[in-house]
Structure 1
Amino acid sequence: MRIHSAMAIYRSKDDIYSISFVTVAYLSLLLLFWCLRLFERAGRNAPQRPRLKAYVWSLSTLLTCMFSYKVAAIMPWPVDLVVWGLGSSVVVGGFYVFFLYKGVN
């Protein structure tokens, strides 16, 4: 993954927007994996568990929005609506399962 990110940055060396996108996406994925690992290692009743849930959901939402934006930008408007609709349903569904549904701790 590091090689692909470095190649993407190298290829778009004159486009600061693309470099920023790749950098933020890569760092967000690293943070997401780290937070997921901490979340899985935390005990069921650990005091930091709700905060870690919020971090995981926030990072997942950021990545979903970023990639929805990139995909929707190259699609015709009907497909654009489908992409944003699916991305929104993932964000809202994730919020419901993580924070409102009482079956998940």
Structure 2
Amino acid sequence: MDHRRDEKDWLSALGFAFLTYNSATAVYRSINEPSAVAFVVIAYLDLVLLFWCLRRFETSSESNRGKYKAAVWSLATLLTAMFSHKVAAIMPWPVALIVYGMTVVTAGGGFWAFFVYREPPPADSKTSSN
């Protein structure tokens, strides 16, 4: 069991290093475009915070999960909106409207799944066998 955790930690560190390297390279290549640099930095910080909140959510007690769930949804929605805006900017306006619509549906669906939907309790095995 401990071996799996070490392997998981190693893969997480490798993924984080890859993300950091690519973000630093993007900032270096876009150094003369402040808006591009801001986009990369904000997206990088958002991803780092998102992964941190996900880890905290997975390891927290049931009573503390609400605030991490809200943070995960907010950070994921921000990232979705940022990338959708970049994509929509290069599309014709009808396609851009579709992209923005998909963003709203995705954010709304995530909100519904995280905060509204409740799984039904499991059916009682005695009543279902009759």
Fold in common (TM above 0.5): yes
Which of 57, 64, 86 is the aligned partner of 2:73? 57
User: 1:34 is matched with which residue: 31, 49, 52?
Assistant: 52
| Letter of the structure 1 residue corresponding to residue 32 of structure 2 | D
Superposition map of 1:13-28 within 5 A: 13-28=31-46
1:19 Cα shift? 0.6
Partners of 1:36 and 1:86 in 2: CA distance? 24
Identity %: 53
Q: Distance in 2 between matches of 1:54 and 1:63?
A: 14
Report the TM-score, using the length of structure 2 for normalisation.
0.75
Looking at structure 2, the residues matched to 50 and 103 of structure 1 have their Cα atoms a distance apart, in angstroms, of 16
Cα RMSD of the aligned pairs, angstroms, is 1.3
Q: 1:93 aligns with which of 102, 109, 127?
A: 109
Q: Could you list the runs of 5+ residues in structure 1 that have no partner in the other structure?
A: none
Partner of 1:84: 100
Cα distance per residue 1:18-38 (max 9 Å; x no partner): 111100000100100110111
Matched, 1:66 2:82: yes
Any idea what SS the aligned residue of 1:48 has?
helix
- Computing the radius of gyration from Cα coordinates, the structure with the larger value is 2
What is the letter of the counterpart of residue 105 of structure 2?
S
- How many pairs does the alignment contain? 102
Letter of the 1:91 counterpart: A
| Separation in structure 2 between the aligned mates of residue 94 and residue 49 of structure 1, nearest angstrom | 16
> Is 1:9 paired with 2:1?
no
**C-alpha deviation, 1:40, in angstroms:** 1.1
Distance, in Å, in 2 between the alignment partners of 1:13 and 1:75 is: 25
